[in-house]
Structure 1
Amino acid sequence: MPNSHLSPGVPDVSTVWLRVFLEVARHGSFTVAARTLGWTQSAVSRQVSSLEEALGGAPLFDRLPRGVRLTEAGRLLVPHAQAVVEALHGAGRELAALREAAGGRLRFGAFASADAALVPQALATFRARHPRVRVSREEGFTPVLLERLTAGHLDLAVVSSTGGAPPSTYALHHLLDESLYVAVPADHPLADGGPVRLGQLADADWISGSARPEGTLLDVAVRQGFRPRIAHVVGEWTAKQGYVAAGLGVTLVPALAAGSVRPDVVLLPVLDQGAPARAVYAATVRGRTLTPAAEAFVGALRKAAARLPA
């Protein structure tokens, strides 16, 4: 039956017919083509007849006493049939590579401090095992990354939470929980390196990536009973350290970024009772099929997280 969705004049042709046609054309014989395909000669003859009928009834082969020979219509069809069959073979190869995460693409995003150690280690493992996957990466704050994920621009996003309820839109693959530190200048009165409670720094000037603590690491301070006075809004981690070292304030540093702190800044572990560790997740959209490459990268992230210092 012709497909009603096809444009007028476009024949509804089975790819099986084309494959059989090419085998007959290659061997010049229904018998040899049938043997190659593992079919009966009559089955091969029926496939060719069906193709001829679909294409308007013109014969594609002259039936000779010994074998067959392409007609002018058959010679015209050969390159088109080859193009169709090769295109399908190519699609099959690409789909197989995609299933094995041996090809395709991976689009992911991550928040800044995850790029200090977690993401590079995971990406190195992933690239070693899946070198043919095309990888693109974005950096941003968690809310922006989740928006990009929802819009379909990312396959997954490495995001963080300071204890808020995870949005039900996303499937969150837990990677790790990380502790927090307060970064203070080397000459700060508390700079002996001992643990502190955030309340001890309630009167300090704070450096943060946002003018409001909500949705940032400083949300922990709000839950501990005080609203930090944000004196400087600085987004980049290296710049934050410069402000701290200059004595312009203090800032919170997650454990993922602790290894890259400059020597004239002191990190003090936060011991506030009930202050939750920051959770880090690989987020995907709930209900959206995860590509094999994305699944493999989630696995690489989990292995990298397990290797990081506690």
Structure 2
Amino acid sequence: MHDENAFDTAALRLLDEVARNGSFTAAAELLGYTQSAVSRRVAALERAAGGPLFERLARGVRLTPAGAALHRHAVAVLDRLDRAGEELAAIHGGRGGTLRVGAFATANVDLVPRALKRFAARRPGVELRLTEGLTARLTDRLREGALDVAVISDYPTGLPAGPPHTVPLLEDRLFVALPAGHRLAGDDDVDLRDLAGESWIEAAPRGQPTLLVTACAAAGFTPRSGLRVAEWMGKFAFVAAGLGVTLVPELAARAVPADLVLRPLRGTAPVRKVYAALPGEPLPAALELVELLGQWETCTTASPTSVTPSPPVCGT
């Protein structure tokens, strides 16, 4: 082959049209070329192919064996290019491709699955992948290009450097989970100072900053450490058994079982802020998911100062 540039997309489409219609004239009309332009382009293709691709007949043309071989490959290439174009259009239009989502653990209790459920109903052609991790790690993965959107928070030391763009989603308040027979279970809300003598069910290893330590420090005391349990359901089980109390971010309120009482804290309890982080050139699908994340409603009852002992019902 002497001229590999002859095998460009336009030439392959021309080859396909001539082969399908058996005529240079018909192919020229379909593609908007002159007949002489078609003849010149086919001649260039034949030079590059090293021999004739079409047998010239009294009426029209037909493929030679070499032409049939090249046409078979041309059809495969054109089909792949057409499918690539459709896939790219779907990605840029938010209708297809893969959306890689990252979130910290508490956000996966209700905020993220609720938004992803609505997103999947809107965009069934988009494949969803989820990564769970701490905010710092999610930010690193976003910066590395491994995530398309991440749900992160400013806890415990503020937002890490890295995300080109962040969108505020909500403020995550703190609640306290109490056993049903607790002396404060009947109150509408609880002052953290009234729990200074309680044993606390915690998750993090000793010495690490936690929302509990921060909240109690703001209330003027150091919490009395009790049992340490990593998973939420285990923490709730120990509270239900009367072995301590635990703090619950509002994002996790939906997971609280019916046999516990969940009460908001009043006074100086800290509030963490939750954000959606995006790369510099976000996908349309990522922007749509961020919109849905921003529509999450708090898991409280009609009264903003109380939460019923039964599992909270979040907004739809």
Q: TM-score, normalised by structure 1?
A: 0.84
**Contact 2:139-2:162 within 8 A present in 1 as well:** no
Alpha-carbon separation, structure 1, partners of 2:59 and 2:299: 73
| CA positional deviation for 1:293 | 2.5
Cα–Cα, structure 1 residues 9 and 112, in superposed 2: closer, same or farther, change >3 Å?
Answer: farther
Which residue identity lines up with residue 270 of structure 1 in the other structure? L
Alpha-carbon separation, structure 2, partners of 1:73 and 1:25: 12
| CA positional deviation for 1:129 | 0.9
* Greater mean deviation of Cα atoms: 174-183 or 136-145: 136-145
Indicate the SS of the match to 1:211: coil
Alpha-carbon separation, structure 2, partners of 1:147 and 1:231: 34
* Corresponding pairs, count: 298
* Residue 63 (1) aligns with residue 56 (2): yes
* Residue 207 (1) aligns with residue 201 (2): yes
Q: State which of 284, 291, 295 in structure 2 corresponds to 1:299.
A: 291
| CA positional deviation for 1:141 | 4.0
Which residue identity lines up with residue 293 of structure 1 in the other structure? A
Q: State which of 104, 111, 121 in structure 2 corresponds to 1:111.
A: 104
Which residue identity lines up with residue 59 of structure 1 in the other structure? P
Q: Which digits, 9 at most, give the CA deviation of each residue in 1:176-224, with x for residues without a partner?
A: 1122112222333333324333333334322222024755322532651
Q: Which stretches in structure 1 are left out of the alignment for 5+ residues?
A: 1-7
Residue of structure 2 equivalent to 1:78:
71
Indicate the SS of the match to 1:268: strand
Alpha-carbon separation, structure 1, partners of 2:169 and 2:267: 23
Q: State which of 254, 257, 262 in structure 2 corresponds to 1:262.
A: 257
Q: State which of 173, 183, 187 in structure 1 corresponds to 2:181.
A: 187
Residue of structure 2 equivalent to 1:137:
130
| CA positional deviation for 1:9 | 9.2
Alpha-carbon separation, structure 2, partners of 1:109 and 1:100: 21
| CA positional deviation for 1:134 | 1.6
| CA positional deviation for 1:39 | 1.8
Residue of structure 2 equivalent to 1:5:
none
Which residue identity lines up with residue 9 of structure 2 in the other structure? T
Residue of structure 2 equivalent to 1:158:
151
Q: State which of 237, 243, 249 in structure 1 corresponds to 2:238.
A: 243
Residue of structure 2 equivalent to 1:198:
192
Which residue identity lines up with residue 210 of structure 1 in the other structure? A
Q: Which digits, 9 at most, give the CA deviation of each residue in 1:66-86, with x for residues without a partner?
A: 322323321221101111111
Percentage of matched positions with identical amino acids? 49
Alpha-carbon separation, structure 1, partners of 2:260 and 2:93: 46
**Contact 1:158-1:282 within 8 A present in 2 as well:** yes
**Contact 1:211-1:230 within 8 A present in 2 as well:** no
* Greater mean deviation of Cα atoms: 37-46 or 58-67: 58-67
Cα–Cα, structure 1 residues 188 and 123, in superposed 2: closer, same or farther, change >3 Å?
Answer: same
For the aligned residues, what is the CA RMSD? Answer: 2.7
| CA positional deviation for 1:101 | 2.2
Which residue identity lines up with residue 235 of structure 1 in the other structure? A
Alpha-carbon separation, structure 2, partners of 1:244 and 1:308: 20
Alpha-carbon separation, structure 1, partners of 2:224 and 2:105: 23
